[in-house]
Structure 1
């Protein structure tokens, strides 16, 4: 994973500005440049009834200037020492702007503070970025369990779909790069789905199923790792649904960052079902790096 250019979404509502701090740290490690963007939008349509267009434009300009002054102050206050540019954009739909911007300007990574409390039928900016972005997205945790010291990558080793198998390799490569840069160990999480109904009926033997999975997954994973030596203690093949296995294991290994793939469902099916990356976000209290095929 090569990171030369990072797009950072600054959030005025986040008092600690963790996305800014985290992106500055990554820029220092990778020698990357930062483009920091803050967004502002107010519905000024009602003012058009009382003021002329010039006055409305003047109000908009003043709001933009005040927001830019806040952003400049925050960058100075946090002592972000990096090759950076910044701007304030008048835009209500952040994900749409990011998608359009990514078509004309290449970024290796998008960094944003993650918000994980929305309802099932509401699709916030985080979800849109995960589904529609071609650039890896890092959602920085607002709160964490404790001081972390590891990276964990979640893999779908059961898939027979070639694009998902290729995505597994991208996840492994990204985690290996981040592990080398940060000096943190990398743990590999593979979940094995077992029907609780069939298990309770005695139609599936959990231990035998796990044993078969390990016999299949271990050689495949070692092939993906290539020359990267990994101890068996860093490979975790667990029975259960990925949405529960991933957060549980992340807590156990004290992960600071979880690397996960997102295949990007769209429409009503996405709102009702989501995908693994989205379903675990509500439970993970770590930073999350989402990579798409």
Structure 2
């Protein structure tokens, strides 16, 4: 993987404490990366003020943007004089995730960094949060930042999918590990692999009286362990840093991350859209609210964002 040389940091306009900026600065200090802080704003009331002319509405938008630029200057003041290149960009756009992804693609950024928080799971099915849109549609890796600090000698947890021998899945596993190892070098961290495998289907045990659930379960476990061991060997990861556990990934990953007190979880995410995305979602979307650490979501090689054709 190429190094993170250009970071696009998404600003949260509701708070002065910007966890994403702080994390981006940590990354930039390790490799001299350039940072652009990005804010997408929109106020529907300005567009609906029929008594104002087009020029007057434009002047109002410009005024709001200038106010936000001044606010950003204050927010970023504490990072001045640290030898880091930090620029800012404020745009008027009614779909924040779209403006973020388009700006990141156009600017050739290597990483999108954004603060996150727990979402209302019921509303999220109807009003999908910007975080979820970014994970689904951004071809560029997305780092979602929480308050958990990155300690020297910490742990980076790679969620790998070994249930399929599909080349795309295997390639994505490799990409996840490569990102982890690059970050581990800079922060002196350990790289761990985690994989969840399904338990014995209850209906099989009920419908087939002679079905040996224990033997079946052991066979699945051994198959997953062998594939994880193969990955670990290929990338020089110690056997004691491999964790294969029974259960759904959305349960296994947060549990292990908490147990290890991991600083970062890295996983792959597909660009599912439409009804299937709303009802099923991705592992990343199920995991994010259960993690107390950062999440780095990575797309398969060659993924093309649906926004590229928009």
Q: TM-score, normalised by structure 1?
A: 0.91
Q: What root-mean-square deviation, in Å, do the aligned CA atoms of Structure 1 and Structure 2 show?
A: 2.2
| 1:61 aligned partner | 62
Q: Map Cα deviations across residues 106-142 of structure 1 (whole Å, 9 max, x no partner).
A: 011000112431333331211111111110000001x
The alpha-carbon distance between structure 1 residues 56 and 247, as it changes in their structure 2 partners (threshold 3 A), is same
2-structure distance, mates of 1:15, 1:68: 13
Contact 1:145 1:285 (C-alpha < 8 Å) held by counterparts: no
| 1:25 aligned partner | 26
1-structure distance, mates of 2:187, 2:149: 20
The alpha-carbon distance between structure 1 residues 103 and 78, as it changes in their structure 2 partners (threshold 3 A), is closer
| Structure 2 unaligned residues grouped into runs of 5+ | 301-310
Q: Bigger CA drift: 29-38 or 207-216?
A: 207-216
Contact 1:260 1:289 (C-alpha < 8 Å) held by counterparts: yes
Contact 1:189 1:236 (C-alpha < 8 Å) held by counterparts: yes
Number of positions where the alignment pairs a residue of Structure 1 with one of Structure 2: 287
Match of 2:253 among 227, 246, 258: 246
The alpha-carbon distance between structure 1 residues 220 and 25, as it changes in their structure 2 partners (threshold 3 A), is closer
Q: Map Cα deviations across residues 67-124 of structure 1 (whole Å, 9 max, x no partner).
A: 0000011111344731121111111211111232234220110001124313333312
1-structure distance, mates of 2:295, 2:10: 15
| Alignment of structure 1 residues 205-224 onto 2, 5 Å | 205=214, 206-223=217-234
| 2:37 aligned partner | 36
Match of 1:175 among 176, 180, 189: 180
| Alignment of structure 1 residues 176-195 onto 2, 5 Å | 176-195=181-200
1-structure distance, mates of 2:257, 2:47: 47
| 1:157 aligned partner | 162
Q: TM-score, normalised by structure 2?
A: 0.86
| Alignment of structure 1 residues 1-293 onto 2, 5 Å | 1=1, 2-43=3-44, 44-49=46-51, 51-79=52-80, 81=82, 82-118=84-120, 119-141=124-146, 143-144=147-148, 149-197=154-202, 203-205=212-214, 206-223=217-234, 225=235, 228=236, 230-293=237-300
